[in-house]
């Protein structure tokens, strides 16, 4: 059974949970959008969530697979993240997850 599993391609999600310094969320959002605009092959969508009335947020970026996610970490992308780093009030928690269930709404 493990041989079969090796041939399966699993979508993945890059998730970051963090808090920005007071009043810096909008600046970070602009940099986030700039960073996401550099993505190409394998990119399947990005969401930036903000906890209401706070500077806390969650970024969820979906990828076709982990290899393509890593391949999109260009020098331009890294330079944008360097600009964003001082805006955080603490180091964000960052993880990659394997997408194990995807439920889409029915098409009308």
CA distances from 47 to 1, 5, 6, 61, 69 (A): 35, 29, 29, 6, 15
The arithmetic mean of pLDDT across residues 7-20, rounded, is 88
**Cα 78 from Cα 24, distance rounded (Å):** 19
- What tokens does 66 get? 């982990």
- Assess whether pLDDT exceeds 50 at residue 18: yes
The arithmetic mean of pLDDT across residues 40-48, rounded, is 96
**What SS3 state is found at 25?**
helix
Q: What would the pLDDT profile of 51-94 be if each residue is shown by its tens digit?
A: 999 999 999 999 999 999 999 988 999 999 999 999 999 999 99
Instruction: Give the pLDDT confidence score for residue 96 in this predicted structure.
Output: 95
β-pair partners for 96: 14
The arithmetic mean of pLDDT across residues 17-42, rounded, is 96
Structural domains of the chain sorted by starting position, each given as residue range(s) with its CATH number in brackets: 9-98 (3.30.70.100)
92: number of Cβ within 10 Å = 17
CA 59 distance to own-chain centroid: 5
Are the C-beta atoms of 20 and 88 separated by less than 8 Å?
Answer: yes
Confidence of residue 38 (pLDDT cuts 50, 70, 90): very high
Instruction: Give the pLDDT confidence score for residue 1 in this predicted structure.
Output: 46
């Amino acid at each position: 059974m493990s041989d079969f599993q090796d041939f399966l391609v699993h979508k993945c999600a890059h998730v970051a949970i963090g808090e920005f310094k007071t009043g810096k969320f909008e600046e970070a959002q602009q940099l986030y959008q700039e960073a996401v605009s550099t993505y190409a092959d394998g990119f399947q969508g990005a969401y930036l969530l903000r906890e209401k009335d706070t500077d806390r947020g969650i970024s969820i970026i979906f990828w076709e697979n982990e290899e393509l996610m890593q391949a999109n970490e260009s020098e331009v992308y890294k330079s944008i993240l360097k600009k964003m780093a001082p805006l955080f009030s603490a180091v964000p928690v960052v993880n990659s997850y394997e997408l194990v269930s995807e439920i889409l709404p029915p098409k009308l």
